[in-house]
Homo-oligomer: A and B are copies of this chain.
C-alpha cells in the first residue's frame, strides 16, 4: 500500500473499466497459450481501411512531413465530410460546423468536457455505450440511465425524457443504431425528443457512428432535425478504420469556438496521417467497397440470429444496423457474466456481458459482434452448442 493506491480522484469511482477491453485481453492471453479464440467481443470490423485510404497513406508516409494540422482538422477533410452529408442525406452542412476528432471518443469527450458542469446529468437509455456515462463522469457529470426494454426496441421515448428531466439535467445522449442493440430510434420519437430538449434549453447528442451500417434502407442523419442537434460520427465502423483513431462531430455554429478551445488543449489535433488518408475514404471506390461490406454484415446477422436462437438464446429485437446482436441469456444461465466467462474459457468464443452497457437487466443480456467471417460464426455457434 503506497500513497498512490488511495490517491485517484473521486471521479474515478464512477469511471468503470471498459470490460470488453479486459475480455479482449483475456482472449489474447488464451491465444498466446495456443488456444483458438473466435472474437465476437469487440466492436471492430474484421476488414481493414478501404484500398484508396491505404494507397493514399502509403504515398503520404513516403513524402509528407505529417506535422500538426489545424485543431479542427484538415479543411479538405471537413469539406469532404460535409459533401458526404449532401450526397447521402441531401443535407447542407457548413464545413465550419464540422470538427475532426481523435475517434468518436475524442468527439464525445470534447462535447461533454465543453458543456458539462459538475452535477450535470445526461439522460441515456439503459443499455447504452458504456463510455458515454464514464466520459460524463470525467467532467463531474453523471449519467441518468433510463431503463428500456424490447417494447421500445431499447430506445428512449420523448415521454421518458419529459418525465425524467430535472433541474440538473443538461441533455440527452442517444445512439442510433444503438450499441449494444443495433436498433434505431423511430424518426418521430427522435424529433419529439429533440424538441423536448430544445424547449428545456438542453443539449441533444446523437451518436451516429453506426448510421452507415444500416441493414436494408439507410437511416437519415439527425442533423436535419435542427442546427442545435450535436452529432458524433467515426471512421472506425463504416470505413473500418478503428486503429486510425479518427472521427468527427457536427455542432451548432456558436459551439465551434469553445469546442476548438477545448481541443487545442486536450488534443492539439487528430492524427495527421489518418486525416490526410481519410479524404480518400469518400472516393467512389471506397464507398462502393464499404457498401458491399455493409451487405456482408447484414448476411452475417441473418446467419447468427437464427443460429443463436436455435442454441437457446432469446433475441427479442432484430437489429436495424451496426454489427451486434443483443441476446437474452435468461433461458441458459443465471448471469450473463458467468456465461460469458464460460463461453470464452470453454468454447473459445469471446462475447461481451451486459454489465458493460448499464444496470437494467444487465446480467440477463450479452452482446455478440458479428465482426468475423461466416465460417467463424458457424464454428462459434457450434462450439457454444457443444458446451451448453
Contacts and interface: CB of A to CB of B under 8 A. Distances in A.
Interface residues of A, number: 81
A67 interface: yes
Interface stretch (A236-244, A282-290, A301-309): A236-244
Contacts of A109: 266
B103 A268 contact: yes
B268 A271 contact: no
B2 A243 contact: no
Contacts of A28: 70
Contact of A25 (B15, B70, B244, B274): B70
Interface stretch (A42-50, A84-92, A377-385): A42-50
A131 B269 CA distance: 13
A68 B44 contact: yes
A243 B54 contact: no
Contacts of A258: 8, 12
Interface stretch (A58-66, A153-161, A336-344): A58-66
A210 to B, nearest CB: 16
Given A70-B25, A138-B139, A274-B271, A261 B16 contact: yes
B68 A9 contact: no
A245 B271 contact: yes
A311 interface: no
Nearest to A68: B242
A134 interface: yes
Contacts of A270: 245
Interface stretch (A113-121, A211-219, A327-335): A113-121
